[in-house]
Structure 1
Amino acid sequence: MTKTVVELSKLTRSFTQGGVTIDVLKGVDLTIMPGEIVALLGPSGSGKSTMLQAVGLLEGGFGGEITICGRSAEKSDGDARTALRREHLGFVYQFHHLLPDFDARENVVLPQLVAGVPRKDAETRADELLSALGLAQRLDHRPSQLSGGEQQRVAVARALANKPELVLADEPTGNLDEATSDRVLDEFLRLVRGQGSSALIATHNERLAAKMDRIVRLHDGLLEQG
């Protein structure tokens, strides 16, 4: 039987502001299979980022169950959750969050070194990814020397560097113009599919979502399939 990459069961998240409780997630159920690319659609403020933070094990305060590659996050302590993130997950954010004092290659090498990959192998992997993304001539450029689209390509390479089973992307092209957005997303999807990873990609753009395998919609704290 094929193991799922992600299983969410009755996922909830509430926030209290000014004495008022706001229920952002009200019992979300979702299963993602190996190699599946899922678009998470919803308008700004619908809770897409909150849901990705839950799946990414980036903060606590969530109710329900989260299972990553067969391992229960609820039954894992802090160190085990960190290991889950490091071993199975990759992240692409709307803002690239590159390290400004390191060049493109180094930004992709560093997460591999953290995972225990030898530097030479990490540099080879970084060069392969960045070249596949059209950045072969920009390997030694720092983020300040790159355009917005180039910076986001580096962020994509960084997310894929350790060949995660699941890539989480939060509006990964939200700050790019339409033409650049299309190019970056197409390159991203091609690489994700090429290495057999799954992805959950949050967006409010129906046209971009249509490029993915399946669409789920976050509405009033619940997921609607299709």
Structure 2
Amino acid sequence: MSDPVTQLPSAPVVVLSNLTRSFTQGGVTIDVLRGVDMEVMPGEIVALLGPSGSGKSTMLQAVGLLEGGFGGEITICGRSAEKSNGDARTALRRDHLGFVYQFHHLLPDFDARENVVLPQLVAGVPRPQARERAEELLTALGLGQRMDHRPSQLSGGEQQRVAVARALANKPQLVLADEPTGNLDEATSDRVLEEFLRLVRGQGSSALVATHNERLAAKMDRVVRLHDGKLA
């Protein structure tokens, strides 16, 4: 009888090593991130908890490769961000990351369906397939009857659902969410978060969700706290 095969753990989706970020204002240097070390594993949903101004958004900008000026190392899906040129970093964002912000940032001149179709077209998905994927996601989020509506015709909760669908459209390996329900009332916030978590788990993505809400953070797989520029 042969020995059972040992299942080795998958590699982390993202690894942060000694991540730092400082800003200078009025001749004073402010250390926002002071050596952050962190890993997010495949399929793991991690809450990044901390009060406003603690550096949560700065940390997500680093992981999302949205700006420079960071020290340390960022590895996404096995690729070093520091060793990647501009085009490679753009490809990393496009192919592996999805983003949800506190404010939906939907394109106002396009309806809900097209807002979810467009990022797929950028990634090279044929329009019929992109449209089918958009309708699948929007229906799953309870927007089956609202696909033809523009953002201005949708409620705040509906707008944020479209933003969630857009973030998940290309089935990213990691979704970065910055206070994704912070602009909603409590009841709507709970519904949108539950739908977000259900869809992320359903497609096997990982997520790093910045929030200051302990109650919402408790719904996720793991909670890390950003305090004084470091993770506790």
How would you bin the TM-score normalised by the shorter chain?
A: over 0.9
Q: State the number of aligned residues.
A: 220
Residue in structure 2 matched with residue 13 of structure 1 by the alignment? 21
Q: What are the ranges of 5 or more consecutive residues in structure 2 without an aligned counterpart?
A: 1-12
Residue in structure 1 matched with residue 122 of structure 2 by the alignment? 114
1:90-123: per-residue Cα shift (whole Å, max 9, x none)? 0000000000000000000000000000000000
Q: TM-score, normalised by structure 2?
A: 0.94
Q: CA deviation at 1:138?
A: 0.2
1:39-84: per-residue Cα shift (whole Å, max 9, x none)? 0000000000000000000000000000000000000011000000
Cα distance in 1 for partners of 2:142, 2:214 equals 26
Q: TM-score, normalised by structure 1?
A: 0.97
Residue in structure 2 matched with residue 160 of structure 1 by the alignment? 168
1:5-31: per-residue Cα shift (whole Å, max 9, x none)? 000000000000001000000000000
1:171-207: per-residue Cα shift (whole Å, max 9, x none)? 0000000000000000000000000000000000000
Two-structure CA RMSD over aligned residues (Å): 0.5
Cα distance in 2 for partners of 1:183, 1:209 equals 14
Residue in structure 2 matched with residue 85 of structure 1 by the alignment? 93
Cα distance in 2 for partners of 1:205, 1:43 equals 9
Identity across the alignment (%): 90
Structure 1: 4+ residue segments shifted above 6 A: none
Q: CA deviation at 1:140?
A: 0.3
